[in-house]
Amino acid sequence: MNYRQLGRTGLNVSILGYGASWLGGVFRAADDSRDIRAVHTALDLGINFIDVAPCYSEGRSEEILGRAFRDIPRERFVVATKIGSYCPDIFDYSAARVVRSVDESCARMGLETIDVLQVHAMEYADLNQIVNETLPAMVKLRDAGRIRHVGLTGLPLKNFIPVIDQAGPGVVETMISFFHYELNNTSLDSLLPDLKKRGIGVINAAPTGMGLLTDHGPYKKWPIPQPIIDNCRRAAAFCREQGVDIIKIAVQFAINHPGIATTVMGSMNPDHIRKNVSYAEEPIDFEMTARVLEILRPIRGHNFTRGRPENRDPIIA
């Protein structure tokens, strides 16, 4: 496994990260022992960056991580969790809820300190509150040693730089973007120079588009336009005809960008984790990648968005 620096945090993270949203039965029937094996498999294969949130399986994802961490030395993993989004569809970015959320997450995971605390889905917030209340509360926790670093997450891209700049130098240290650096959409690339200039560690998530770039298709939660789904199905079918797993192409494409510290993928299946890690360690298949990119060219950069109307990205279709 290769590792990269996460911005100016001083954290050295695996180029393939583990997304814990699958733990706890939100996507499949719950099986705690299988989920714990999945976490241990990821760690044993060199993955050290783990991303989770309180709203994943209503806290069960963090609880399962806590059980998985019991006999694991603390220095072997970097944990990023979030504040602000809670189930079912509750958003609370107040300072008081920030503090309470960290207490709850630490208790569930059996940790004294969170490595990276992130604003979850900031597109559902008043961004003025994020700048003037949420982030200052997170900085106080950082100063007190309860957390080590402060980050942002969100689907729309347009909010990141304004919030980072309004918060001031050194406040925001990391960001997570998803659906914006994968085979069919690389719009995150346009932000990377500005993020690098500000010293922000970049985390990419969902390199297969939450199933979009697989034979199974996307998770139904996401309002992905049908033309994007259809074109991605054609790309997956082409890979299948060539005897190649499109997930391999998607993983290799995402982790190949040197400006992205880590790319987070979720799974509760230890065998799938082993396969993803093997893909990450193989040389990139440039010829096959180029052929897949050509199939996806008609929808290149086409997107969807969500959140409060003023926080949404313009739609490209």
Pairing relationship of beta strands 16-19 and 12-14 according to DSSP bridges: unpaired
How far CA 252 is from CA of 103, 258, 271, in Å, comes to 37, 12, 18
Do 113 and 299 contact (CB within 8 A), yes or no? Answer: no
Pairing relationship of beta strands 85-86 and 90-91 according to DSSP bridges: antiparallel
Termini Cα distance of the chain:
37
Do 37 and 82 contact (CB within 8 A), yes or no? Answer: no
Give one word for 136, left, alpha or beta, with left for phi > 0 and alpha for psi -120 to 50. Answer: alpha
Do 178 and 204 contact (CB within 8 A), yes or no? Answer: yes
Confidence category of residue 87, pLDDT binned at 50, 70, 90: confident
* Sequence letter at residue 74: R
Check 3, 18, 56, 93 and give the catalytic one: 56
Local structure of 90: helix, strand or coil: strand
Q: Of the ranges 22-26, 91-95, 139-143, which one carries the lowest mean pLDDT score?
A: 22-26
Tens of pLDDT, residues 133-168: 999 999 999 999 999 999 999 999 999 999 999 999
Residues in the chain: 317
Report percent pLDDT > 70 for the chain: 98
CA distance 178 to 304: 12
* Mean pLDDT of the region 211-231: 89
pLDDT at site 12: 98
Pairing relationship of beta strands 90-91 and 114-119 according to DSSP bridges: unpaired
Fold of 3-213+248-285: TIM Barrel (3.20.20)
Tens of pLDDT, residues 31-70: 899 999 999 999 999 999 999 999 999 999 999 999 999 9
Tell me if the pTM is above 0.85.
yes
How far CA 52 is from CA of 6, 11, 55, 80, 288, in Å, comes to 17, 17, 9, 6, 32
pLDDT at site 222: 83
Tens of pLDDT, residues 240-272: 999 999 999 999 999 999 999 999 999 989 999
CA distance 212 to 216: 8
Q: Which two tokens stand for residue 122?
A: 């900031």
pLDDT at 26 over 90: no
Q: Catalytic residue at 56?
A: yes
CA distance 114 to 135: 15
pLDDT at site 269: 93
Q: Which two tokens stand for residue 308?
A: 């409060």
CA distance 254 to 183: 8
What φ, ψ does residue 307 adopt, rounded to 5°? 105, -170
Q: Which residues pair with 79 in a beta bridge?
A: 50
Do 96 and 136 contact (CB within 8 A), yes or no? Answer: no
Confidence category of residue 28, pLDDT binned at 50, 70, 90: low
State which H helix or E strand residue 82 sits in: strand 78-83
Local structure of 205: helix, strand or coil: strand
pLDDT at site 27: 64
Nearest Cα neighbor of 139 from 177, 100, 173, 112 is: 173
How far CA 146 is from CA of 27, 63, 98, 131, in Å, comes to 31, 19, 12, 20
**Residue in this structure with the two tokens 């949203």, named with its chain if needed:** 21
